[in-house]
Amino acid sequence: MSSGNSTSTETHTNLYGYTPTRSVCFIFVILYALSTLLHLWQSTRSKAWWLLPTVALAGIAEVIGWGARAKSSYDPDARMPYIIQTSILVLAPTPFVAALFIGFGRISERLGSEYSRLRPKLYSRIFLTGDLLSLLIQGGGGGIAASSLNDPSKVALGSHVILVGLIVQIISMTVFCYMMAEYAFRRFTDRPFRKPEMASYAEAAVPVMSARTMDRSMKLLITGICVSTALIYIRSVYRIIEFSNGYSGSISHTQVLFNVFDGMMVTLAMYTLNAMHPGLLLRATAGVSAYAMAERSQTSFDRRTSPTVEVLQHHIRK
Protein backbone atom coordinates (compact mmCIF):
# COMPACT_ATOMS: atom_id res chain seq x y z
CA MET A 1 0.00 0.00 0.00
CA SER A 2 1.33 3.41 -0.88
CA SER A 3 2.51 5.51 1.98
CA GLY A 4 0.98 8.62 0.48
CA ASN A 5 4.28 10.50 -0.06
CA SER A 6 4.62 12.45 -3.28
CA THR A 7 7.39 14.16 -5.17
CA SER A 8 7.41 17.89 -5.70
CA THR A 9 6.65 17.42 -9.41
CA GLU A 10 3.67 15.16 -8.68
CA THR A 11 2.22 17.63 -6.19
CA HIS A 12 1.63 20.21 -8.94
CA THR A 13 -0.15 17.77 -11.26
CA ASN A 14 -1.61 15.10 -8.98
CA LEU A 15 -4.37 16.34 -6.69
CA TYR A 16 -4.23 13.16 -4.60
CA GLY A 17 -0.65 13.77 -3.59
CA TYR A 18 -0.03 10.07 -4.35
CA THR A 19 -1.03 7.44 -6.87
CA PRO A 20 -3.95 5.35 -5.53
CA THR A 21 -2.89 1.73 -5.04
CA ARG A 22 -4.69 -0.21 -7.76
CA SER A 23 -5.08 -3.47 -5.85
CA VAL A 24 -6.59 -1.68 -2.83
CA CYS A 25 -9.07 0.19 -5.03
CA PHE A 26 -10.26 -2.98 -6.75
CA ILE A 27 -10.52 -4.84 -3.45
CA PHE A 28 -12.86 -2.14 -2.12
CA VAL A 29 -14.88 -2.13 -5.36
CA ILE A 30 -15.40 -5.89 -5.05
CA LEU A 31 -16.17 -5.78 -1.33
CA TYR A 32 -18.73 -2.99 -1.72
CA ALA A 33 -20.30 -4.65 -4.76
CA LEU A 34 -20.73 -7.97 -2.94
CA SER A 35 -22.14 -6.31 0.17
CA THR A 36 -24.54 -4.20 -1.88
CA LEU A 37 -25.83 -7.17 -3.85
CA LEU A 38 -26.33 -9.07 -0.61
CA HIS A 39 -28.20 -6.10 0.90
CA LEU A 40 -30.45 -5.93 -2.16
CA TRP A 41 -31.31 -9.62 -1.78
CA GLN A 42 -31.77 -9.42 1.99
CA SER A 43 -33.94 -6.31 1.80
CA THR A 44 -36.11 -7.80 -0.93
CA ARG A 45 -36.47 -11.08 0.92
CA SER A 46 -37.50 -9.34 4.16
CA LYS A 47 -39.58 -6.72 2.29
CA ALA A 48 -37.63 -3.99 4.12
CA TRP A 49 -37.95 -1.56 1.24
CA TRP A 50 -36.67 1.35 3.34
CA LEU A 51 -33.20 -0.21 3.19
CA LEU A 52 -33.00 0.17 -0.61
CA PRO A 53 -32.73 4.00 -0.77
CA THR A 54 -30.49 3.98 2.30
CA VAL A 55 -27.99 1.13 2.75
CA ALA A 56 -28.15 -0.19 -0.82
CA LEU A 57 -27.81 3.32 -2.27
CA ALA A 58 -24.79 3.97 -0.06
CA GLY A 59 -23.20 0.75 -1.32
CA ILE A 60 -23.76 1.69 -4.97
CA ALA A 61 -22.22 5.11 -4.35
CA GLU A 62 -19.17 3.50 -2.71
CA VAL A 63 -18.70 1.21 -5.72
CA ILE A 64 -18.77 4.23 -8.07
CA GLY A 65 -16.43 6.25 -5.87
CA TRP A 66 -13.86 3.50 -5.48
CA GLY A 67 -14.21 2.67 -9.16
CA ALA A 68 -13.15 6.24 -9.89
CA ARG A 69 -10.13 5.83 -7.59
CA ALA A 70 -9.25 2.63 -9.46
CA LYS A 71 -9.36 4.63 -12.69
CA SER A 72 -7.02 7.19 -11.10
CA SER A 73 -4.54 4.43 -10.34
CA TYR A 74 -3.86 4.31 -14.11
CA ASP A 75 -3.68 8.10 -14.52
CA PRO A 76 -3.53 10.03 -11.21
CA ASP A 77 -3.33 13.34 -13.09
CA ALA A 78 -6.77 12.89 -14.72
CA ARG A 79 -9.23 15.37 -13.26
CA MET A 80 -12.61 13.68 -13.82
CA PRO A 81 -11.98 10.47 -11.78
CA TYR A 82 -10.62 12.64 -8.96
CA ILE A 83 -13.72 14.85 -9.02
CA ILE A 84 -16.04 11.81 -9.03
CA GLN A 85 -14.35 10.06 -6.11
CA THR A 86 -14.03 13.27 -4.08
CA SER A 87 -17.68 14.23 -4.50
CA ILE A 88 -19.22 10.77 -4.12
CA LEU A 89 -17.15 9.21 -1.35
CA VAL A 90 -17.74 12.13 1.02
CA LEU A 91 -21.51 11.78 0.47
CA ALA A 92 -21.86 7.99 0.18
CA PRO A 93 -22.30 7.09 3.89
CA THR A 94 -25.06 9.70 4.40
CA PRO A 95 -27.95 7.45 3.27
CA PHE A 96 -26.41 4.64 5.34
CA VAL A 97 -26.69 6.87 8.43
CA ALA A 98 -30.36 7.41 7.58
CA ALA A 99 -30.89 3.64 7.84
CA LEU A 100 -29.40 3.66 11.35
CA PHE A 101 -31.83 6.39 12.42
CA ILE A 102 -34.83 4.54 11.00
CA GLY A 103 -33.64 1.22 12.42
CA PHE A 104 -33.36 2.52 15.97
CA GLY A 105 -36.78 4.12 15.73
CA ARG A 106 -38.23 0.70 14.92
CA ILE A 107 -36.29 -0.93 17.73
CA SER A 108 -37.67 1.54 20.27
CA GLU A 109 -41.14 0.89 18.94
CA ARG A 110 -40.71 -2.85 19.50
CA LEU A 111 -39.07 -2.62 22.90
CA GLY A 112 -41.34 0.05 24.31
CA SER A 113 -41.59 3.64 23.10
CA GLU A 114 -42.38 4.81 26.65
CA TYR A 115 -38.64 4.62 27.47
CA SER A 116 -37.70 6.91 24.60
CA ARG A 117 -37.53 10.69 24.82
CA LEU A 118 -38.92 10.79 21.28
CA ARG A 119 -41.80 8.94 19.68
CA PRO A 120 -40.49 6.28 17.24
CA LYS A 121 -41.61 8.18 14.14
CA LEU A 122 -39.86 11.33 15.31
CA TYR A 123 -36.48 9.61 15.06
CA SER A 124 -36.97 9.42 11.30
CA ARG A 125 -38.40 12.92 10.94
CA ILE A 126 -35.87 14.77 13.08
CA PHE A 127 -32.66 12.90 12.34
CA LEU A 128 -33.39 12.36 8.64
CA THR A 129 -33.92 16.11 8.32
CA GLY A 130 -30.46 16.65 9.79
CA ASP A 131 -29.04 13.95 7.53
CA LEU A 132 -30.61 15.55 4.45
CA LEU A 133 -29.30 18.97 5.46
CA SER A 134 -25.82 17.49 5.85
CA LEU A 135 -26.11 15.84 2.42
CA LEU A 136 -27.12 19.10 0.73
CA ILE A 137 -24.34 21.10 2.38
CA GLN A 138 -21.67 18.51 1.54
CA GLY A 139 -22.96 18.20 -2.02
CA GLY A 140 -22.84 21.96 -2.46
CA GLY A 141 -19.31 22.11 -1.11
CA GLY A 142 -18.21 19.28 -3.37
CA GLY A 143 -19.71 21.07 -6.35
CA ILE A 144 -17.88 24.30 -5.54
CA ALA A 145 -14.54 22.55 -5.12
CA ALA A 146 -14.92 20.30 -8.16
CA SER A 147 -15.86 23.14 -10.51
CA SER A 148 -12.80 25.21 -9.64
CA LEU A 149 -9.88 22.85 -9.11
CA ASN A 150 -7.48 25.38 -10.61
CA ASP A 151 -8.65 28.14 -8.25
CA PRO A 152 -7.18 27.56 -4.75
CA SER A 153 -9.59 30.01 -3.12
CA LYS A 154 -12.65 28.21 -4.55
CA VAL A 155 -11.23 24.83 -3.59
CA ALA A 156 -10.68 26.09 -0.06
CA LEU A 157 -14.24 27.45 0.06
CA GLY A 158 -15.64 24.12 -1.13
CA SER A 159 -13.58 22.29 1.48
CA HIS A 160 -14.94 24.55 4.24
CA VAL A 161 -18.52 24.05 3.07
CA ILE A 162 -18.04 20.26 3.08
CA LEU A 163 -16.57 20.58 6.57
CA VAL A 164 -19.73 22.35 7.76
CA GLY A 165 -21.84 19.53 6.31
CA LEU A 166 -19.72 16.92 8.08
CA ILE A 167 -20.02 18.81 11.36
CA VAL A 168 -23.82 18.92 10.96
CA GLN A 169 -23.78 15.16 10.39
CA ILE A 170 -21.61 14.37 13.40
CA ILE A 171 -23.67 16.64 15.67
CA SER A 172 -26.77 14.77 14.52
CA MET A 173 -25.05 11.42 15.14
CA THR A 174 -23.83 12.55 18.57
CA VAL A 175 -27.36 13.47 19.65
CA PHE A 176 -28.57 10.16 18.19
CA CYS A 177 -25.96 8.21 20.19
CA TYR A 178 -27.03 10.04 23.35
CA MET A 179 -30.67 9.13 22.64
CA MET A 180 -29.73 5.47 22.19
CA ALA A 181 -27.71 5.41 25.41
CA GLU A 182 -30.48 7.15 27.33
CA TYR A 183 -33.06 4.71 25.99
CA ALA A 184 -30.92 1.72 27.00
CA PHE A 185 -30.42 3.14 30.51
CA ARG A 186 -34.10 3.86 31.03
CA ARG A 187 -35.16 0.47 29.71
CA PHE A 188 -32.53 -1.27 31.84
CA THR A 189 -33.60 0.57 35.00
CA ASP A 190 -37.32 0.64 34.07
CA ARG A 191 -37.66 4.43 34.14
CA PRO A 192 -40.14 5.30 31.38
CA PHE A 193 -40.75 8.88 30.28
CA ARG A 194 -44.48 8.22 30.06
CA LYS A 195 -47.05 5.53 30.65
CA PRO A 196 -47.02 2.69 28.14
CA GLU A 197 -49.72 2.66 25.51
CA MET A 198 -52.56 0.18 25.75
CA ALA A 199 -50.94 -1.92 23.03
CA SER A 200 -47.95 -2.44 25.28
CA TYR A 201 -50.17 -3.88 28.00
CA ALA A 202 -51.76 -6.22 25.52
CA GLU A 203 -48.37 -7.42 24.37
CA ALA A 204 -47.22 -7.90 27.94
CA ALA A 205 -50.32 -9.96 28.63
CA VAL A 206 -49.48 -12.50 25.97
CA PRO A 207 -47.63 -15.40 27.56
CA VAL A 208 -44.23 -15.89 25.98
CA MET A 209 -41.22 -17.89 26.97
CA SER A 210 -38.84 -15.75 29.01
CA ALA A 211 -40.89 -12.61 28.45
CA ARG A 212 -38.48 -10.52 30.50
CA THR A 213 -35.41 -11.16 28.33
CA MET A 214 -34.72 -10.10 24.76
CA ASP A 215 -34.65 -12.81 22.16
CA ARG A 216 -31.49 -13.47 20.13
CA SER A 217 -32.74 -11.63 17.03
CA MET A 218 -33.40 -8.42 18.95
CA LYS A 219 -29.98 -8.58 20.62
CA LEU A 220 -28.31 -9.01 17.23
CA LEU A 221 -30.34 -6.15 15.77
CA ILE A 222 -29.31 -3.76 18.55
CA THR A 223 -25.67 -4.89 18.27
CA GLY A 224 -25.67 -4.31 14.52
CA ILE A 225 -27.07 -0.78 14.83
CA CYS A 226 -24.63 0.15 17.62
CA VAL A 227 -21.52 -1.27 15.92
CA SER A 228 -22.39 0.32 12.56
CA THR A 229 -23.04 3.67 14.25
CA ALA A 230 -19.64 3.53 15.97
CA LEU A 231 -17.84 2.72 12.71
CA ILE A 232 -19.50 5.54 10.76
CA TYR A 233 -18.85 7.92 13.65
CA ILE A 234 -15.12 7.12 13.52
CA ARG A 235 -15.16 7.71 9.77
CA SER A 236 -16.91 11.07 10.22
CA VAL A 237 -14.36 12.22 12.79
CA TYR A 238 -11.55 11.35 10.36
CA ARG A 239 -13.25 13.23 7.52
CA ILE A 240 -13.69 16.33 9.68
CA ILE A 241 -9.99 16.26 10.56
CA GLU A 242 -9.11 15.69 6.90
CA PHE A 243 -11.13 18.63 5.58
CA SER A 244 -9.96 20.86 8.45
CA ASN A 245 -6.45 20.15 7.19
CA GLY A 246 -7.46 21.11 3.62
CA TYR A 247 -7.35 19.35 0.24
CA SER A 248 -3.61 19.90 0.01
CA GLY A 249 -2.90 19.01 3.64
CA SER A 250 -0.76 16.11 4.82
CA ILE A 251 -3.81 14.10 5.96
CA SER A 252 -5.51 14.31 2.55
CA HIS A 253 -2.23 13.31 0.93
CA THR A 254 -1.74 10.21 3.08
CA GLN A 255 -3.39 7.28 1.34
CA VAL A 256 -3.25 4.78 4.17
CA LEU A 257 -5.34 7.04 6.40
CA PHE A 258 -8.07 7.28 3.77
CA ASN A 259 -8.05 3.53 3.11
CA VAL A 260 -8.35 2.69 6.81
CA PHE A 261 -10.58 5.41 8.23
CA ASP A 262 -12.89 5.85 5.26
CA GLY A 263 -12.77 2.75 3.10
CA MET A 264 -12.38 0.16 5.84
CA MET A 265 -14.78 1.79 8.34
CA VAL A 266 -17.64 2.01 5.84
CA THR A 267 -16.92 -1.50 4.54
CA LEU A 268 -17.11 -2.93 8.06
CA ALA A 269 -20.34 -1.01 8.69
CA MET A 270 -21.89 -2.40 5.49
CA TYR A 271 -20.95 -5.99 6.33
CA THR A 272 -22.05 -5.57 9.94
CA LEU A 273 -25.58 -4.89 8.69
CA ASN A 274 -25.25 -7.81 6.29
CA ALA A 275 -24.50 -10.09 9.22
CA MET A 276 -27.14 -8.47 11.44
CA HIS A 277 -29.59 -7.32 8.81
CA PRO A 278 -32.31 -4.98 10.18
CA GLY A 279 -34.97 -6.19 7.77
CA LEU A 280 -34.48 -9.88 8.47
CA LEU A 281 -34.12 -9.40 12.22
CA LEU A 282 -37.14 -7.10 12.53
CA ARG A 283 -39.12 -9.70 10.64
CA ALA A 284 -37.82 -12.44 12.97
CA THR A 285 -38.88 -10.46 16.04
CA ALA A 286 -42.36 -9.67 14.70
CA GLY A 287 -43.87 -12.64 16.54
CA VAL A 288 -42.22 -11.85 19.86
CA SER A 289 -44.57 -9.85 22.05
CA ALA A 290 -42.45 -8.65 24.98
CA TYR A 291 -38.82 -7.71 25.52
CA ALA A 292 -36.65 -6.44 28.34
CA MET A 293 -33.00 -5.51 28.85
CA ALA A 294 -33.00 -6.75 32.44
CA GLU A 295 -35.25 -8.16 35.14
CA ARG A 296 -38.05 -5.69 35.74
CA SER A 297 -38.88 -4.21 39.11
CA GLN A 298 -41.74 -5.58 41.19
CA THR A 299 -43.72 -2.43 40.41
CA SER A 300 -43.30 -3.01 36.70
CA PHE A 301 -44.34 -6.63 37.15
CA ASP A 302 -47.42 -5.62 39.13
CA ARG A 303 -48.37 -3.17 36.41
CA ARG A 304 -48.28 -5.95 33.86
CA THR A 305 -50.37 -8.29 35.99
CA SER A 306 -52.99 -5.69 36.90
CA PRO A 307 -56.72 -6.48 36.46
CA THR A 308 -56.70 -4.48 33.20
CA VAL A 309 -54.02 -6.74 31.78
CA GLU A 310 -55.82 -9.86 33.01
CA VAL A 311 -58.98 -8.79 31.18
CA LEU A 312 -57.00 -8.25 27.99
CA GLN A 313 -55.28 -11.61 28.44
CA HIS A 314 -58.65 -13.28 28.88
CA HIS A 315 -59.92 -11.80 25.62
CA ILE A 316 -56.73 -12.76 23.78
CA ARG A 317 -56.98 -16.38 24.93
CA LYS A 318 -60.64 -16.50 23.84
pTM: 0.81
pLDDT of 288:
56
CA distances from 224 to 35, 115, 178, 191, 277 (A): 15, 20, 17, 25, 8
Spatial distance between the Cα atoms of 11 and 246, rounded to a whole number of angstroms = 14
Q: 67-118 pLDDT, tens per residue?
A: 999 999 999 999 999 999 999 999 999 999 999 999 998 888 888 888 888 8
Q: 218-260 pLDDT, tens per residue?
A: 889 999 999 999 999 999 999 999 999 888 889 999 999 999 9
What mean pLDDT comes out for the span 30-47?
Answer: 97
What mean pLDDT comes out for the span 211-223?
Answer: 76
Is the pLDDT reported for residue 148 higher than 80?
no
> Using CA of residue 248, residue 251, residue 256, residue 262, what is the dihedral sign?
negative
